[in-house]
Structure 1
Amino acid sequence: MKLTFLGTGTSQGVPIIACKCPVCKSTNFKDKRLRASVLIHVDGQNLVIDSGPDFRYQMLRAGVENISAILFTHEHKDHTAGLDDIRAFNWVNKEAVNIYAEKRVQTSLRKEFSYVFAEFKYPGIPQMNLIDVTNEAFHINGTKIQPIRAMHLKLPVYGYRIGDLVYITDANYIAMEEKEKMKGAKVLILNALRKEKHISHFTLSEALELVKELKPEKAYFTHISHQMGFHDEVQAELPDNVFLAYDQLEIEID
């Protein structure tokens, strides 16, 4: 399994429009963050988790020519806004794209992309199959996917376990029974917004506590704000097996 971080930024990305802070003005490519998303190549197929506003550029930058499915964590626009751009894959692959999301998220997608589901189908609209996600494990072309429920303040979101990989974003609470699904994974990817307390995201210290609790071989933090600080300085503070992810970082999971 190979995972590519398509984006590691928070909802506004880094740099933020019109921000003059030192991080937003940084020339280090590791401080340039598109909205959070990952590409997972496993069992001969490409799976994408979330398609935010930067989806088109992320696909072009990573050279992606086909995807088997998009899995959604939740309905916030920084995770869904780029869905229209699956049209390119419809055209190239001559088929609809399978979209995995829980019912509440599907309702949001039907509202935000109403023209896709309208009675009159305008030529060239995105073609997609909406498929339900629940707490039960499911398979995509033979690959087992285990949803993991987390809370984004009061909004329920889903993370996913695929083999020895766990991906959780936009969370600040995970119940014990859901943590059980995460145990034994070699690689944990977790949101860590900034160092200061936040109402709906894990902070750096909270994410580190969860890593200490679950004991993965390696952990990577994503969904990072400019308030976190410079990548290289934060990385120097982390344990040897914990990494601040950055855009285009590729990792292999045995």
Structure 2
Amino acid sequence: MMRVVMLGCGGSAGVPQLGGEDGRGDWGACDPAEPRNRRTRSSIIIEQDGRRLLIDTGPDLRAQLLATGIASIDAVLFTHAHADHITGLDDVRILNRLTGKPIDAYASTKTMEELALRFDYAFRPWKPPGFYRPVLVPHQVEAGQDLTIAGFPVTLLDQDHGYARSLGIRVGRFAYSTDVVAMEPEVLDRLQGIDTWVVGCFQRQKHATHAHIALVAQWAARIGVRRTVLTHMGYDLDWGWMQANLPPGLEPGFDGMEIHPAS
């Protein structure tokens, strides 16, 4: 059975954001007494039959893996090159040490170019033994491809992120779509038949680069998905408020959440 672990479900600034009257965090509309409102940057692990695929390496990666008890991955896929999705890449070196091997990394051509600029040392050829730096084996991929990553049958989806593009991912009857504000009809068509969809939803009202609640609900109805779990949520979205007000079929995610999509 597939298991999806939501390592983090927050926006680029997390929840709480830096600031607040006492300097201990700006919670916005979120209740600080509700632990599920505390959100690190968005990332997931897809796991099945002992294989693990990591989606993105945000700045909270180390803490996320410790919190969920995960100490190995077989591959990593980057949705895009924004800082909140890549700047934890250096922590992969410890995963290299624990697994004793380089780790395959998948990204679009543009994202791979950005990664190579910011983390050039991670893509240099490995000279064993030891891992004093992360060692990634680059694989350039593009939206629309069907391929196998770490034994998972993966479909890559093209997503409009406002001023950029991002990759969505479908694995069987599960899909993950973060950092998206518009989806073409043909992309929504490729999501037909999924059981569970984890999708970015930044706030209640419209946003220039991220989907909002009404838009996600519209997409979910178009696809006919049974269960839609929100991620990449900002401090406008309080857990309790969402539990009471989200349309049927939509629910808020939380850090550490485990999802078992139907096969």
**Normalised TM-score (structure 1):** 0.94
Is this contact kept in 2: 1:218–1:241, CA < 8 A?
yes
Q: Does 1:46 align with 2:52?
A: yes
The partner residue of 2:35 within 25, 29, 36 is 29
Three-state SS of the structure 2 residue aligned to 1:87 is helix
Q: 2:203 maps to what in 1?
A: 194
In structure 2, the partner of 1:104 is: 110
Contact 1:7/1:33 (8 A) holds in 2: yes
**1:141-175 alpha-carbon deviations (Å, 9 max, x no partner):** 43200001111003111000000001000000111
Three-state SS of the structure 1 residue aligned to 2:216 is helix
Partner Cα separation in structure 2 for residue 127 and residue 193 of structure 1: 33
Alignment-derived partner of residue 241 in structure 2: 233
Q: Deviations over 1:65-115 (max 9, x none)?
A: 210111111000100000110111111111001111011111101111123
1:244 maps to which residue? 252
Q: Unpaired segments of 5 or more residues in structure 2?
A: 21-25
Deviation at 1:140, TM superposition (A): 2.1
- Letter of the 2:109 counterpart: K
Q: Distance in 1 between matches of 2:204 and 2:75?
A: 34
Taking a change above 3 Å as real, the CA distance of residues 43 and 120 of structure 1, as seen in their structure-2 partners, is: closer
TM-score scaled by structure 2?
0.91
User: Partner of 1:124 in structure 2?
Assistant: 132
Offset, 1:189: 1.2
**Offset at residue 23 of structure 1 (A):** 4.0
Structure 2 counterpart of 1:16? 17
Cα drift, residue 43 of structure 1: 3.5
The residue that corresponds to 1:162 in the other structure is 171
Superposed displacement of residue 198, structure 1: 0.6
In 2, Cα distance between equivalents of 1:22 and 1:221: 18
Q: Is the 8 A contact 2:106 2:138 kept in 1?
A: yes
Pick closer, same or farther for the CA change 1:145–1:119 going to 2, 3 Å: closer
For 2:74, which of 65, 68, 76 is the aligned residue? 68
What stretches of structure 1 of length at least 5 have no aligned partner?
Answer: none
Give 2:253's aligned amino acid. Answer: A
2:122 corresponds to which letter in structure 1?
V
Maintained 8 Å contact 2:16/2:38:
yes
Classify 1:196/1:84 alpha carbon distance in 2 versus 1 (closer, same or farther; 3 Å). same
Structure 1 residues 141 and 71: CA distance shift in structure 2, 3 A: closer
Identity level (%): 28
Q: Is the 8 A contact 1:149 1:157 kept in 2?
A: yes
> Which whole-Å CA distance do the structure 2 matches of 1:120 and 1:244 have between them?
41
Change (3 A) 1:118 1:251: closer
Q: Which residue is equivalent to 1:213? A: 222
The residue aligned with 2:61 is 55
Residues 1:171 and 1:193: Cα distance change in structure 2 (over 3 Å):
same
SS of the equivalent of 1:227 reads: coil
For this pair of structures, how many residues does the alignment match? 253
Change (3 A) 1:137 1:196: same
In 2: Cα distance, 1:47 partner to 1:141 partner: 7
Question: Deviation of residue 39 (structure 1)?
Answer: 1.0
Q: CA deviation at 1:234?
A: 1.4
